[in-house]
Amino acid sequence: MLGLLDAAGEATPYDLKQIAATAIGDFWSMPHAQLYAEPERLAAAGLLRERRESSGRRRKYYKLTAAGRRALRDWVAEPTEQQIELRDPGLLKIFFGSDPRAMAAAQLPVRRAKLEKYEELLAQIEGHVPEGMVLALRVGISHEREWVRFWSELQEGEEGE
């Protein structure tokens, strides 16, 4: 949340939902309820400043405080040993007996499209955004390339033979 607000400058919970979906949604899911509730909690903790529109919809806008910037900086600087949690419905269905070739036929176009999207995005942003964003995108590209390889082998009936 702090990182999203740092990137946005100032944002409403709805803005944060949009930013999260486009910026980090491919590798970090955030429940929509959290995106609406968490800013209020962080503001109460002194990490965000809240500004409310005086008329109209009276939306709440949030912005990092100095304490929020320090908390983000400290969090980013702390290495983590946590692993990825893989939750892939296609793989789960295969595990329980789905036809691998049929699943591969459904998965391949989706994975190839995602890979193409990531590669196009990399060409657009490289050299224009912080290195961490490029590195995260490169991992996404590698991830999708591996899924394309895996599903291609299943479709061709090569996996497990």
Which amino acid is located at 51 in the chain? R
- At 125, which amino acid appears? I
Average pLDDT score over the chain: 92
Distance of CA 99 to the CA centre of its chain: 30
Task: Identify the sign of the CA torsion 132, 137, 142, 144.
Answer: positive
How far does CA 43 lie from the centroid of its chain? 23
For residue 75, what are the CA distances in angstroms to 64, 78, 106, 132? 14, 5, 39, 15
CATH topology of domain 2-77: Arc Repressor Mutant, subunit A (1.10.10)
Give dist(CA 71, CA 65) in Å, integer. Answer: 10
DSSP assignment letter at 11: B
Predicted model pTM: 0.76
Ranges of each domain in the chain: 2-77, 89-155
pLDDT tens digits, 91-120: 999 999 999 999 999 999 999 999 999 999
Is residue 159 very low, low, confident or very high in pLDDT (cuts 50, 70, 90)?
low
Answer left, alpha or beta for residue 21, where phi above 0 means left and psi between -120 and 50 means alpha: alpha
* Helix (H/G/I), strand (E/B), else coil: 64: strand
